[in-house]
Structure 1
């Protein structure tokens, strides 16, 4: 997929013909609509590497050709980030909070425009795009308050006249490698906490969503400049895997936050840890919803429907597995099948659209492989099962887009050891199975390698206790009467097992972005040893 989007940098003087739809969105965010676009920022905009094409998944239109980072520019950007950190760590934390407040205001002023760009370049519907920007705004609010509350601890000492302190200090440069499905919010989670902690960040976005990163960085860079802060405090390097590798391998980047596949996450984790760096991994999410016979189906059906088809099934928290109690399985599937069959694709920029495209041609391949496997094993496909034909898409300008039918299927086997259930399919495919006892469903929920999000639908407090207790769901996000997707920023976000154990956003996630020191202070006139050790001389 990536190679097909890269063109030699000799085309740096090319021009392009944009639709008015795309041109208006880019212009509103000060992204050039002619010529190539610089995709590197370290205090100044540049780009001497390969040219990456940004393609609109709704239409197939080439939105821009972005000049990515050359190896030399990567080296320079990392050096400038280190220098910027040395400056920024000395800015008092409440002043860092004020800068975050200004970033928050600047982002909020462009919330609708950024949301439209996310829809244009990533493909999610407009309300989800705007909601993603709102996540960035919200985490900035959170980090502003956090800048005055990043507290350590005072611990009682066993020695008279001594105190023990646990002290957080700025860590260094934080590398953020984000994925295409949330091209703005995931960076926001990391940037806000990183800046509050006194760090510099360097961002390597997905090579298929460079314009979102350029637009966000442009907004942030203006705020930094107005405050006399080096631009490399929030640097950007677009590019392919080589750009990501440069950050992951750099000893000048003590913390790397990576969002992506389990396969690549394993490589990132090993590489960072081999140099004794810190790593935050947000990887696969093979998420399950369980519906008990006492559940309110009027709540459960639309929530599970959104969990399965929101962002065209390309959220890390998308619902992939649905376990239905035998008593309500037929009724639930009948209701769910009806909403699936009523769904129609459309332009994600239109307010009434609920289903946009998948992100790329590679996403089409993932979907088609999954559907073909369901057909090969003779699963009962209740809805979907193929790409949309042009006749199914009313707007002619969308005929070149990547539109697929959300698929609802009931495989014959519910054995959680089967590859069908063990593997995350990053597409709008929901597989269903029927259970008899909650303990059985919890076992199925926990039987997969991934552990990001899970959801139980019930009105029985005893079921809730089992679900969130010691023998319950083993995922990082454990919901009750709430779908698997759509987390708020206040709690730490992340998963367990092969999802990577990383935590971002709220809760205690900020503690990963600082350097901790235990400091014992002796303010007495004697120097006794701990544990009563006597070493008199």
Structure 2
């Protein structure tokens, strides 16, 4: 039913190569895609104060390729002590970085952007190796990431204050915007380069410094991006990358939240973890930005162009194998177009190619890890046991590992966990509605409020529905809504704060009021 891109499967004794140990199979694949032309692709150290360092404990953790389950790197397993060193480095760097002009920061960030663009293929290949997404998608993520570097290199020169109209002639009243300090950043595995670029570019443009804790599944992308920044001339301590295993991640996060030297924390990830960080940051009343989970509805009204809607759904649902926070979760179809849409969607999904992301024919990679695979499997089985009908897929893929079949289910209802939870996998689920009011009631029936989508050619309906949807972002006849120029973020339990756009500067700056009195 599905096209399959087969992986090489050979015995893989470890051999020494540069900074890490790599399997024979990995070296074969590396040669096929030209990876080994770059000597510094993979690191085995963290990056603190401009230096490559081990954990104080000497411990390491393994980073694996989800397509093959093979170890591609061993990185320092850092804890709260190592994090404190990174915080102090960032704090020291802030004392000088905050005093640089917007023009000075803009020039360095522009160089960072230009170097990242020149190393686009290298960055993309590392991303695919540790995340599993198809190489074409990885290239797209790198382009998206560099968009943020470019955008905020330009915004650095446009962080303005205000001169107020004073009520008293002898006073001059001014508002100036200043960087808040050191920012702790906790970033996810699904877009390991883009989420760092989106946060760090805005913070650095504002005059802040960063301590970045990348996800344990995908730390290599963060390290390579930091290295490119250092090569561009970003001073030591402005960007620090602390690596840690799943076991040590809570202690690193807690240190960032409790440290009085950290002025703000920015987190992208699950709502459950976001709530923990929210509580922990209260102890020092930090600035906090949370981009949390979603449960995106995708509504197709009777007047919609169905071919356009299917194309939008495919882009929204199956990018990164469905592992995106703005991925479609519930597909709401008007009863008059339901069956026709499902047939069109079935046809489109049958063309998906499952396999190793390094295979140029692949359009769907593996799920990131075993836990995610088990979650997706359980949600599908729960839906089927509660009355959903299987149109396509619904099983682990024949490739094994964490590959899962692209799946299409109909007849979803509120009794199913997949109706309530973010699936984060290649599973499309449909349900019918008969009126606009019913569609809106279903769409808004969630505590999440990140992204939503709807398709309609009725202009009056477009105006009504776009205002009635209780989400921070709405895609109207469009399945891809992210851009550096747009304000990205949610409402309700999907978090607060905005990333991207000129508003992305807001989380990293504060207003200071200057009142000059007794002036003549």
What TM-score do the two structures reach when normalised by structure 2?
A: 0.91
1:382-461 alignment runs, 5 A limit: 382-390=391-399, 401-411=401-411, 413=413, 415=414, 419-461=417-459
CA distance in 1, matches of 2:281, 2:311: 41
Q: Of the candidates 27, 36, 44, which is equivalent to residue 37 of structure 1?
A: 44
Q: Of the candidates 78, 85, 100, which is equivalent to residue 109 of structure 2?
A: 100
CA distance in 1, matches of 2:365, 2:481: 17
Q: Of the candidates 491, 494, 498, which is equivalent to residue 499 of structure 1?
A: 494
The match for 1:477 is 473
Q: Does the 8 A contact of 1:202 with 1:236 survive in 2?
A: yes
- RMSD (CA atoms): 2.0
Q: Of the candidates 239, 242, 252, which is equivalent to residue 237 of structure 1?
A: 242
The match for 1:365 is 374
CA distance in 1, matches of 2:134, 2:123: 12
CA distance in 2, matches of 1:357, 1:408: 17
Residues 169-227 of structure 1: per-residue CA shift (max 9 Å, x gap): 12110111000001001110111111111111111000111111111111112223xxx
The match for 2:127 is 118
Residues 322-371 of structure 1: per-residue CA shift (max 9 Å, x gap): 00011111100111112223323122123332111111111111111111
What is the CA-CA distance between 1:524 and the residue it aligns to? 3.4
What TM-score do the two structures reach when normalised by structure 1?
A: 0.88
The match for 2:261 is 252
CA distance in 1, matches of 2:28, 2:275: 40
Task: Name whichever of 161-170 and 330-339 sits farther off.
Answer: 161-170
CA distance in 2, matches of 1:205, 1:238: 7
Q: Point out 4+ residue stretches in structure 1 off by more than 4 angstroms.
A: 13-16, 21-29
What is the CA-CA distance between 1:297 and the residue it aligns to? 1.1
Task: Name whichever of 420-429 and 259-268 sits farther off.
Answer: 420-429
CA distance in 2, matches of 1:197, 1:28: 36
Q: Does the 8 A contact of 1:422 with 1:449 survive in 2?
A: no
What is the CA-CA distance between 1:45 and the residue it aligns to? 0.7
1:60-71 alignment runs, 5 A limit: 60-71=69-80
What is the CA-CA distance between 1:54 and the residue it aligns to? 0.9
Taking structure 1 as reference, are residues 412 and 85 closer, same or farther at Cα in structure 2, changes over 3 Å only?
A: closer
CA distance in 2, matches of 1:466, 1:67: 52
CA distance in 1, matches of 2:423, 2:236: 39
CA distance in 2, matches of 1:380, 1:407: 11
CA distance in 2, matches of 1:477, 1:339: 26
The match for 1:516 is 511
Residue aligned with 1:140, SS: helix
The match for 2:12 is none
Gaps of 5+ in 2: 1-18
What is the CA-CA distance between 1:141 and the residue it aligns to? 1.5
What is the CA-CA distance between 1:383 and the residue it aligns to? 1.1
The match for 1:17 is 23
Q: Does the 8 A contact of 1:421 with 1:448 survive in 2?
A: no
Q: Does the 8 A contact of 1:273 with 1:279 survive in 2?
A: no
Residues 291-348 of structure 1: per-residue CA shift (max 9 Å, x gap): 0111111111121022111101101111111000111111001111122233231221
Residues 51-96 of structure 1: per-residue CA shift (max 9 Å, x gap): 1111111111111111232443222111111000001111111100
CA distance in 1, matches of 2:175, 2:328: 40
Q: Does the 8 A contact of 1:74 with 1:246 survive in 2?
A: yes
Taking structure 1 as reference, are residues 506 and 337 closer, same or farther at Cα in structure 2, changes over 3 Å only?
A: same
Q: Of the candidates 355, 358, 361, which is equivalent to residue 349 of structure 1?
A: 358
CA distance in 2, matches of 1:71, 1:268: 15
Residue aligned with 1:488, SS: coil
- Tell whether 2:178 aligns with 1:172: no
- Tell whether 2:461 aligns with 1:463: yes
Q: Does the 8 A contact of 2:386 with 2:416 survive in 1?
A: no
The match for 2:346 is 337
Residue aligned with 1:455, SS: strand
Residue aligned with 1:330, SS: helix
